[in-house]
Amino acid sequence: MSIETSSRPVILTGDRTTGPLHLGHYAGSLRNRVALQHGHRQYLLLADAQALTDNAHDPARIARNVIEVATDYLAVGIDPAVTTICVQSALPALAELTLLYLNLVTVARLERNPTIKDEIQARGFGRDIPAGFLCYPAAQAADITAFRATLVPVGEDQAPLIEQTNEIVRRLNRQVGYDLLPEARSLIPEIGRLPGADGRAKMSKSGGNALPLSASEPEIAAFVQRMYTDPGHLRASDPGRVEGNVVFTYLDAFDPDPEAVAGLKADYRRGGLGDSVLKARLTGVLRDLLGPIRERRAEIARDPDHVMDVLRTGTARAKDLTAATRDAVKDALGLFRL
């Protein structure tokens, strides 16, 4: 089985299937995926196996949300004709590569990974760390290299995972004596992770502060009304702080008129602009953005068989590619094959 090659850069990205996607996903990754898909060879991995690392108590939730996340992909404009959407647990080559790569990395190195350290602390694992969670960097290396990806869109906090992937690739390439696998580069979006409405934590499903892509107009309005602004801005005439003001963070991320936003910032700093005006503008911006996505999502959700067909087709295509990479790695290592 030959390994597919392409003159276009190869992107691997995806999401854990722990729930429908939200506005933070759209800002940080989804709209970039839509923009990149025609100039790159793009694979979107529904990471259901990885989601089990801290959700093994509720596997039904993980399985149920495979369809939900795939529906979100299609609703925002991912085109399955040019982007391969596939299911992680249905690609056995990924598990085999993970097992091989675990022999190329130490437990100490896994524990030093800044991303893993931060996530362990955030989840309060202490020393009761699920082994699958601790070994996630090796599993991600398997995902990236199986698709021979050279670009991986991630948040800045995830960049250490890509570096650890490249460490594994370099060690493997040195061991076999040639460049069997390519290294990958982090593709970090201009817009980082969005804060929740209170401004104290990132928007997340687990944090309960996320605005889903399917949010209704009343849900959007209520979410904006809860937003943290400037506690010292008690009257419209008071000068206000833009930095740390969640409403401006969202306007910077989504308002299609940055010049108008710059003018609002100047007025707010000077005094004379009320929070209600800012929130009304942001509510309108988010309604315009999410309205079409919500409508497309509802239409797609009425035909779950179509979503399943997309997943079957994409996963079958990915299965051939990932199996070819696995076989190439096993051959290079001189492993016995029947």
> What number is the average pLDDT over the span 33-38?
95
Query: C-alpha 289: how far from its chain's center?
Result: 19
Is it the case that residue 111 has pLDDT exceeding 50?
yes
The per-residue pLDDT for range 313-325, each reduced to its tens digit, is 999 999 999 999 9
Tell me what the pLDDT averaged over the chain comes to. 92
One DSSP character per residue, 3-24 reads: PP--SSPEEEEEEE-SS--BHH
Please give the pLDDT value at position 2. Answer: 47
Strand partners, 41: 10
Is it the case that residue 188 has pLDDT exceeding 60?
yes
Kindly state the percentage of the chain with pLDDT values over 70: 97
The per-residue pLDDT for range 255-294, each reduced to its tens digit, is 999 999 999 999 999 998 999 999 999 999 999 999 999 9
Please give the pLDDT value at position 155. Answer: 79
Angle at 20 between CA 14 and CA 25, to 5 degrees: 50
The per-residue pLDDT for range 65-80, each reduced to its tens digit, is 999 999 999 999 999 9
